[in-house]
Each structure stands twice: as structure tokens, then as C-alpha cells.
Amino acid sequence: MGNDSILKITTDLLLPALGETLIMVFISTIISTVLSFGMAIILIYSYEDGLKPNHTVYQIVNGFCNIFKSLPFIIVALAVIPFTKLIIGTSTGYKAAIVPLVIISTPYLAKMIETAFLEVSTGLVEAAKSMGIKNRDIILGVYINESLSGNLLNVATIMIWLVEASAVAAAIGAGGLGAVAITYGYRLSNPKIIFLAVIVLVVLVETIQWIANRAYYHVKP
Amino acid sequence: MSDWLIMLKTVIFPEFINTIFITVGTLILSIPLGLATGISLTITSEDGISSNYYLNLLLNKANNFLRSIPILILIILFIPFTRVVFGKAYGVLAAVLPLSAAAGAFFARLVEVNLREIKPGLIELGKALGLSKTQIVWEILMKESLPGISGSVTTCVISIIASSTVAGAVGAGGLGAIALSYGYQSFNYSILYTVVFIIVVMVQCVQYFGDKIRNFL
């Protein structure tokens, strides 16, 4: 493979790997966005000045987020292998990597969404409350609506971070561009392939950031 | 003595020391590097005290480029360079270089964010008092952002611990390597979960003491 032309390396090796990376990153982003919105809503409901203050619930969810968001990805991925096997049936391959990727990115994103929620002006929330608007509608109409542009950038940040984590996941058999880098760059020391893989990754990250920035200015009030 | 205790003493403890060594070594290199880059990014920006369009563009692009390469791949990319410097591309010392490059770039952005939060009025005041640029950097930028920067150091330490475990996958040693070889390759779950526990405690300790120092400042 190492002596082949750049075109052949790209079509036979890098594009399929890019496909796997994209699947891992996109599916993990979608699942973790849904889950972390749920967690952030629980946090915003239950914190002490929230819509329905509940100290215990807040402490449990908050503690869970704080512990998980600061753990190294590879450690979490290894620790949840039994769980991954239970859900997916195997612990290798790009599909299996989605489980630890979701587990580690959800608490991280949930805390970022919570911060965006807290930046929504309290006056607006108070006004909605005094108009007798139901809590559910305050969440949808005020919190989520007002923080949309900020959360868009948060999701982009988590997506870029998932590109990075999915490369690490290759160390435990996940496939994707990280696996190409480990196999051809580290084990076979092939500089050409690893430089091409780096170019693909940098372009991928820049593209995600570019789309997110465009969308941000589009939805920004 | 049970197997677990023997493993704890002969395998886990030495690698724990290695992880500490990698983390401290990386910190020593990356904090000054990141601080210098962060300050340069801020003062050369459009509204900075010595704005320089091209230098700023260069620093920004270099920083973005470094940060968009996943750490695992950055370590592999650094192999030829590390080999020139240390004569070998594996082991604790070899991990320090690529980790410092990544952590330095990350820390530079955190420093930049902290410096941007300083009120522009304060810098104007410094200028009006006739302070030199060096004095403005040390007396105003650094002193004002000290608590924020100490918080950023904490974040940076935690991210270095995380990336040192990744470095374990490509020959650096440390707790990450133990977790991989015993947990993943030989399915020894008691070793794996001991390592997980140690890292959780380490990260929580760093966060706790980091918060204490920040509040103290």
C-alpha cells in the first residue's frame, strides 16, 4: 500500500476510513445531543433557582456529569467494554465505538448546554413565569429558543472533540482514520499515508467549524 | 499476598509514577510555551497593544492546525522528531514532546480567552500612566487574569492526564498503557478497574486543589 500512488491510497484506504469516522462522529453527535439536552433540562429544572428546585436530583446529575466529563476517553472506553458487548454484541469495530463516545460526550455537552441555558436572561424567564406559561413551554420557548445559537457552537465543539476521540478509539479496535494512522503511521512507519490522513482530518475539522460558524451567524438573533 | 496486591506493587505503582512524570514534564514545557503564545496572540490582535496582522495570522493558523490534529496522530507525527531529540520514540521522556505541543496550543487558547476578559479600560489606564508594553503585560494583563489562568492550568493538567493515557497506546508507558495491555489485551478486569479508579481519584484531586488555589488567588 505504501508505494502506491496518492490517488490509490485515497480511494482504497482513506475514503473508507473517513466514512467510518464520519459514521462514528455523526451518530454519536446525534445521540449525545438528544441525551445531553435531556440532562441539561433536568439540571435547569432542579437547580436551586430553577423551575422545580430539587437538591438531590441536581446533585446526582451534576456529580455524574462532573466525574465523567473529566475522565480520559480511553479509560472510559475500556471500562465500559462489558456494557458495549451487552448492547452491540461486540466491543470492536466502529459501531461498538459509538457506545463509549456517547457515554463520554454526553456529560460534557450537557454541562455546556446548561451553561448556555444559564446565560438566558432571568428576566425573560421571570416574565414567562408571571404570564402563567407552563414549565414545559418555558423550557421549549424560552431556554431552548434563546440559547439556540450558543448551543449550535457547543454541538460543533463536541463534534470536533468526537473526531479526536474517535481517533483514540482506534487504539481499542474501532477503525476509522485513527486506525489508518496507527497501522500505517505507527506500526509500519509510512510517512506518506499518515500525512494524507492528517490532511483529511484537518480538512474535516475545519469544515465542521466553518459550517458551524456559518450556521451561527444565520440563527444568531 | 494476593495477586492483586503484587500487581499493584510491581505494575501499577511504577506506571503511576510514570504518569505523574509525563504530566509534570509536559506541564513544565507547555505552560511557559502556552503562556507566551497566548500573550502574543492577545497583544498582536487587531485591538491589542502591539497589533501585528501577519504575526497574529501565523500564530492563529499554527495554533488551529495543531489543535485540529487528534493527539494520537500528533504523537505518531512527532516520532521522527522525537527520535532526533531523544534517540528513541518510545518511553516516558519521548511522550513529553508531542504532549507539550498539544497542551501548549490548548493552553494558549485558554490564556487568550482569559486575557480578553480584562476590561479594555484598565489597559487604557496603563497606557495613560505611561507604562511600557512589557509593564502592561506583567502588571495589568498577568495580575488581572491570574485567578482565571490558574483555573486554566487546572483544565490543562486534566487534559494532559487524558492525553498521557492516549500516549500509552503508542508506546509511552504510564497508566493508559497498563489499562490497555491488562484490560483490553488480556482482559484482566481487576487491574483495569484499579487503574480507572486511580485516574478518577487523580483527576478529582487535581480539580479540587485547582479550585482551592483559584479561590485563594
pLDDT tens string B92-111: 888 899 999 999 999 999 99
CB contacts, 8 Å: A186 with chain B: 76, 79, 170
Q: Is there a contact between A180 and A197 (Cβ–Cβ < 8 Å)?
A: yes
Long-range CB pairs of A115-120, under 8 A, 24+ apart, other chains included: A116/A147, A116/A150, A116/A151, A116/A154, A117/A40, A117/A43, A117/A44, A117/A143, A117/A147, A118/A44, A119/A147, A119/A150, A120/A146, A120/A147
Sign of CA pseudo-dihedral A12, A16, A18, A21: negative
**CA dist., res. B94 & res. B85, Å (int):** 9
Interface A-B, measured as beta-carbon pairs within 8 A, has a size of: 105
State mean pLDDT over B131-144: 86
For chain B, percent of residues with pLDDT exceeding 70: 100
Helices A55-69 and A94-118 meet at what angle, rounded to 10? 130
At A2 the pLDDT is: 55
Please check whether residue B183 is in contact with residue B1, taking contact to mean a CB–CB distance below 8 angstroms: no
Tell me which of A70, A90, A115, A183 to substitute to probe the interface with B (most B C-beta atoms closer than 10 Å). Answer: A70
Highest mean pLDDT pick, A209-213, B23-27, B210-214: B23-27
Note the pLDDT of residue B192: 85
Nearest CB to A186: which of B76, B165, B207? B76
Q: Which regions in chain A score pLDDT beneath 50?
A: none
> What pLDDT is attached to residue A144?
86
| A36 vs B81, higher pLDDT | A36
Does the pLDDT at position B188 exceed 90? no
Give the C-alpha separation, A180 to A98, whole Å: 18
Name the pTM for this structure.
0.83
CA B158 to chain centre: 8
Chain A residues closer than 8 Å to B162 by CB? 71-73
Q: Which residues of B touch A75 (CB under 8 A)?
A: 165, 176, 179, 195-196, 199
Other C-beta atoms closer than 10 Å to the C-beta of B21 total: 17
Query: Do B153 and B24 form a contact (C-beta atoms < 8 A)?
Result: no
Q: Which pLDDT score is estimated for B173?
A: 82
Beta strands in chain A (DSSP E): none
Say what the pLDDT of residue A198 is.
86
Q: Provide the shortest C-alpha distance from residue B139 to chain A (in Å).
A: 31
| CB-based contact B72 A181, cutoff 8 Å | yes
Q: How is residue A157 written as a grid cell?
A: 465543539
Instruction: Name which of A96, A99, A38 is nearest A64 in CA terms.
Output: A38
For A159, which residue in chain B has the nearest alpha carbon?
A: B68
Q: Do A74 and B79 lie within an 8 Å CB cutoff?
A: no
Contacts 24+ apart (CB under 8 A), B186-189: B189/A82
pLDDT of residue A19: 92
Among B15, B66, B67, B68, pick the best mutation site for testing chain A contact (most A Cβ within 10 A).
B68
Between CA A102 and CA B188 the distance in angstroms is 24
Give the pLDDT confidence score for residue A136 in this predicted structure: 84
* Percent of chain B topping pLDDT 90: 27
Nearest CB to B70 within list A167, A189, A191: A167
Buried b (16+ CB within 10 A) or exposed e, B118-131: beeeebeebeeeeb
The model's confidence at residue B1, banded by pLDDT at 50, 70 and 90, is: low
When mean pLDDT is compared over A119-133, B18-32, B173-187, the highest value belongs to B18-32
Contact between chains at B162 and A163 (C-beta distance less than 8 A):
no
The CA angle A105-A109-A111, to the nearest 5 degrees, is 125
Contacts 24+ apart (CB under 8 A), B83-87: none
CB-CB under 8 Å, A181 with B69: no
Confidence of residue B71 (pLDDT cuts 50, 70, 90): confident
Q: Please, what is the Cα angle at B190 between B189 and B196, to 5 degrees?
A: 85
Task: Please tell me the distance from the alpha carbon of residue A196 to that of residue B29, in angstroms, as a whole number.
Answer: 29
> Between B165, B193, B207, which is nearest A70 by CB?
B207
SS3 A188: coil
Helix spans in chain B (H):
3-7, 13-43, 53-68, 71-77, 79-86, 92-116, 120-128, 133-135, 143-167, 175-178, 189-216
